């Protein structure tokens, strides 16, 4: 079977002058969990948006599920629906994702946009409300929710479509410890269920239980390492060069913590 994603020499600039990606090549296999690591502004979030078809590279090729993805292809309704049904994106800022009048409507939105009938969408919404233990929030407006509750709703709005691939941008950022723990457990369950997951993160401590491999971006917007998680986390020089730790950091890699 072909890989889920294949990126070849992707280049992207904002406003045609601010480089975000400079020759990025990456392959993601089915069922893998891949962590994108790097300092702020190195290109992690931009790559996730390219993988979700929200942005399109200035040059290079992006293939998903064996078919090249372009802006023109995503204008085709059948291709767009197929792609959107298979790839889900959870944004770092839940306020950018949660916008419907109520939680129930928010979670149903994606299913209805993809053409599912209302009875099927309703059944899926009830299932995911129960799965994420947020049934009591169903009739609330998003502005009435805490940050952690909004994160759960944002995740629910993606899981309800049962995508093959899940993209997460800084999933644990700005969450309280209890919600962070819940989210890490959920990611572990999704990984065990065979979902393909690509996540951008600065949280090195959670990676040994979450990611099969890590792709490290340098501040020059290129990939400087792509290796199993343990190998990356044990390479202090690599983490220093990528600005993921500082010289006085107590972080000493997987072996020292285990």
The confidence score (pLDDT) of residue 253 equals 54
Domain ranges of the chain: 5-257
Neighbour-count burial for 26-56, b at 16+ CB within 10 Å, e otherwise: bebeeebbbbbbbeeebbbbbbbbbbbbebe
228 three-class SS: strand
pLDDT by 10-residue block (mean), the chain, 258 residues? 93 96 98 96 96 97 96 94 95 89 94 90 95 94 90 94 96 87 92 95 88 96 97 95 84 47
Fold of 5-257: Rossmann fold (3.40.50)
The confidence score (pLDDT) of residue 21 equals 98
The confidence score (pLDDT) of residue 69 equals 97
CA distances from 142 to 97, 102, 252 (A): 10, 6, 41
115-171 pLDDT, tens digit each: 889 999 999 999 999 999 999 999 999 889 998 999 999 999 999 999 999 999 999
The confidence score (pLDDT) of residue 251 equals 63
- Both structure tokens of 82: 């197929």
Read off the pTM. Answer: 0.94
Rg (CA), the chain: 18
Residues 103 and 157: their CA atoms lie apart, in Å, by: 9
Residues 80 and 15: their CA atoms lie apart, in Å, by: 26
165 three-class SS: strand
CB 167 within 8 A of CB 159: no
The confidence score (pLDDT) of residue 67 equals 95
Q: What is the mean pLDDT of the chain?
A: 92
69 three-class SS: coil
The confidence score (pLDDT) of residue 114 equals 85
């Amino acid at each position: 079977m072909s890989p889920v994603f294949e990126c070849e020499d992707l280049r992207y600039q904002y406003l045609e002058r601010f480089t975000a990606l400079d020759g990025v090549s990456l392959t993601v296999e089915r069922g893998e969990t891949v962590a994108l690591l790097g300092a702020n502004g190195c290109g992690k979030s931009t790559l996730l948006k390219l993988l979700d078809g929200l942005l399109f590279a200035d040059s290079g090729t992006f293939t998903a599920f064996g078919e090249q993805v372009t802006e023109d292809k995503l204008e085709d309704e059948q291709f767009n629906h197929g792609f959107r049904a298979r790839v889900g994106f959870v944004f770092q800022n839940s306020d950018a994702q949660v916008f419907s009048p109520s939680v129930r409507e928010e979670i149903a939105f994606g299913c209805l946009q993809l053409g599912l009938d209302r009875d099927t969408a309703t059944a899926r919404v009830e299932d995911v409300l129960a799965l994420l233990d947020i049934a009591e929030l169903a009739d609330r407006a998003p502005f009435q929710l805490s940050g952690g509750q909004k994160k759960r709703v944002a995740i629910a709005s993606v899981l309800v479509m049962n995508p093959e691939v899940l993209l997460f941008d800084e999933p644990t950022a700005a969450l309280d410890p209890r919600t962070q723990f819940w989210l890490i457990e959920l990611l572990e369950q999704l990984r065990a269920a065979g979902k393909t997951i690509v996540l951008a993160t600065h949280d090195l401590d959670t990676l040994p239980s979450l990611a099969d491999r890590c792709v490290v971006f340098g501040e020059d917007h290129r990939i400087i390492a792509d290796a199993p998680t343990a190998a990356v986390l044990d390479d202090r020089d690599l983490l220093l060069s990528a600005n993921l730790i500082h010289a006085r950091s107590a972080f000493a890699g997987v072996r020292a913590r285990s």
